[in-house]
Amino acid sequence: MSLPRLGIDVGGTKCLGVVLDDAGQRVGEGRRATPRGAEAIVDTLAELAESLAADVGGVRSVGIGMPGLVTRDGVIKASPNLRDVADFPVGAMLAARLGRPVEVDNDATCAIAAEWKVGAAIGRTDVVMVTLGTGIGGGIVANNRLVRGANGFTGEIGHVVIDPDGPPCPCGRRGCWERYASGSGLARLAREAAVGKRLNRIVELAGGDPEDVRGENVQHAAREGDSDALAVIDLFGKWVALGLANLTNVLDPEAFVLGGGLAASADLYLGPIQRWFTRLLYAPDLRPHPDLTFATLGEYAGAVGAALLADVHQ
Ligand code: BGC
C-alpha cells in the first residue's frame, strides 16, 4: 500500500491539517493557531506537517491551501484576510524546510478539488464551489478539469465588484461581493439594518450595541422565528443569489457547491437563495437551472483538497 497524502488548510485563525489514505479517508488530523507573518507561518506548517507525517510513518506528498492570490509556483501575492502576508513564497520556503516538494493552491480551489474528487460534486464536469466564510472563495471545474488560470489566480469571485461606491474591502477596493454575501457581509447587513430600524432581538443577542452584531446573532434570532432576522437573511440570500446568477452567465455550470462556515446553517439560507436565484437568473424560463448543493466535507474541504493537489495539478 502506498503512503498517505498530507494536506494543510491555512485560515485566518487556524491551520487544519489532515492525512488522507488512498480511499480518500482521513487517517490523521491536527490543528494549530495561525501565527502572524510569513516566517512564523512556515514554522507552524513545518512543525504540523512533520508531526502528522511522523504519526503515520511518513507521507508521499504535501499540499497547502491558502487564502488569496496564489501563483502556480506557490507564492502568495496578496491575501486580504490573512494579516502581514504579501509576496510570500510559502511553497519554496516550506519545501526547503521539509526537504521535499510542496504543492500550494488557493484555499477555495483546494475545496473544489476535494468536493469534486471525494465530496458533493463527484462525477460533475462543470461545477463552481463558493465558500461563504469570513470572505468568499471560488473554485472552478470546467470541462471536467480544475481551472487554475494563467497565473493560478482563477476563482477570486469574492472580489468581483458589485457596487464601486460600496463599503471598503480589505483588498483595497470598494463594494466587493464578499462585503455583502459572506459571514462578515451578513453581520454588516444586520448592523446596517439595526442602525436604521431597531432589530430588538438581534441587538439584544449581541449584548445591546448594534455595532456588535455578528452573523451568529442573526442566525440565532432567525431560528427563534424573529421576523427582523428572517428579513436580514432574505436580503443576504438575495446578495448570494445575485452573485450565483452572475457566475452562471460566465461559466454555465451544472451545479454550485456552497461551503465555508455559513454552509453549516444551510437550512436557514437555502430557501431564500433558491428563491432569489430563480428570479435573478438570465432567461430563467429558457434554460436548465444549475443545482444548488451544499458541501459535504464541511471544515475539512480545504485540507482534504490540499492533500489531493499533487494529483489534481498533474
Ligand atoms: C480571498 C480568496 C479566498 C477567500 C476565502 C477571499 O477574500 O481573496 O483568495 O479564497 O477569501 O478564504
Q: Distance (Å, rounded) from C-alpha 193 to C-alpha 233?
A: 11
CA nearest 120: which of 313, 301, 308?
301
Q: How far does the centroid of ligand 1 lie from the alpha carbon of residue 66, in Å?
A: 8
Provide the pLDDT confidence category of residue 81 given band limits of 50, 70 and 90.
confident
The reported pLDDT for the residue numbered 44 is: 98
- Residue 124 has a pLDDT of 98
Sorted by sequence, the CB contacts under 8 Å of residue 208 that are 6+ apart come out as none
Candidates 192, 187, 177; CA nearest to 215 is: 187
Q: Which helix (H) or strand (E) holds 206?
A: none
Pocket probe mutation, ligand 1, options 15, 66, 136, max atoms within 8 Å of Cβ: 136
pTM across the whole model: 0.94
Helix, strand, coil in percent for the chain, rounding step 5: 45, 20, 35
Ligand 1 atom 5: residue of nearest CA: 137
89-146: pLDDT as tens digits: 999 999 999 999 999 999 999 999 999 999 999 999 999 999 999 899 999 999 999 9
SS3 state of residue 281: coil
Please report the beta strands in 79-187, taking only residues with DSSP state E, as ranges in sequence order.
86-88, 103-106, 127-132, 136-142, 145-146
**Residue 36 in grid coordinates:** 502572524
Helix (H, G, I), strand (E, B) or coil at 258: strand
Residues with CB under 6 A from ligand 1: 67-68, 80-81, 106-108, 131, 133, 135-137, 156, 158-159, 178
pLDDT for 314:
74
Residue holding cell 472552478? 140
Kindly write down the DSSP assignment for every residue of 240-286, as one continuous string: HHHHHHHHHHHH--SEEEEESGGGGGHHHHHHHHHHHHHHHSSSGGG
- pLDDT digits 0-9 by tens, 187-231: 999 988 887 777 889 989 999 888 899 889 999 999 999 999 999
Average pLDDT estimate for 174-187: 94
CA dist 96 and 168 (Å) reads 38
pLDDT at residue 33, as a whole number: 97
